[in-house]
Amino acid sequence: MTRSAIGRTAEWTNKVEAADIDVDGDVDLLFANGGEYEHAGRPEASRVFLNHGDATFTEATRQVFGGMVGALEGLLVGRLVPTLREPSWQDSRDTSAVWGLPIASSSDPAFVAPDAIPWLLVEAFVVGDGPTGGTRLVITRYIQRVNTAGGLAPSDGCATPGELKKRALVPYEADYVFYREKRTNRRD
């Protein structure tokens, strides 16, 4: 059944996450690939398959992950609201935090709506424990913004010198997928 639905895969898969990545009501599949159980092993591309709702899937790995390879042990899929200044997130339970630098973006019309901000891949560059010692986000290596809706800058309001410092807060929605590298020691 698997081979007929998604084709042949030959990666070392550490975890499969089921989530509606393209927000069409069908549960899609994300495979956290790379490495082996006892050591980090060879980096591999993780895989994404979009569900058409009729027991068929289309691979969307390149659109979702770009060319990212790694040794991922798991994937965390969820909805968060980022800050307005820089890509950063704070866990609402343990207050651990991660800040990132964008390294790739996509406005591919097959996935990104014309009125939406691009999908984005962010690499974590600073992670921190929460004030109570929380570490949930400390293991974050990459964050991906997908399923964006809205958020584009207004097309007017910046044309004259008097409007140069004018601000506009533009609402948007997005799903954020957090990735961690596979741990080399099972006690980590």
In the chain, domain spans: 2-181
**Model confidence at 112, in pLDDT bands (50, 70, 90)?**
very high
Q: Indicate the range of 45-54, 66-75, 161-170 predicted with least confidence.
A: 66-75
**Residue 132 dihedral angles phi and psi, to the nearest 5°:** -100, 15
- Give the closest residue to 87 by CA, choosing from 74, 72, 75, 103: 103
In the predicted model, is pLDDT for residue 113 greater than 60?
Answer: yes
Q: Indicate the range of 36-50, 132-146, 151-165 predicted with least confidence.
A: 36-50
Nearest-angstrom CA–CA distance, 183 and 188:
7
Confidence at residue 8, expressed as pLDDT on a 0 to 100 scale: 67
In the predicted model, is pLDDT for residue 179 greater than 70?
Answer: yes
When comparing pLDDT for 124 and 7, which is higher? 124
Are 86 and 99 in contact by the 8 Å Cβ rule? The answer is yes
Q: For the chain, what is the mean pLDDT?
A: 75
In the predicted model, is pLDDT for residue 79 greater than 60?
Answer: no
Q: Indicate the range of 53-57, 58-62, 107-111, 167-171 predicted with least confidence.
A: 167-171
Helix/strand/coil percent split, the chain, to 5: 5, 40, 55
The model's pTM: 0.51
Confidence at residue 40, expressed as pLDDT on a 0 to 100 scale: 56
**Model confidence at 83, in pLDDT bands (50, 70, 90)?**
very low
Q: Indicate the range of 24-28, 69-73, 77-81, 150-154 predicted with least confidence.
A: 77-81
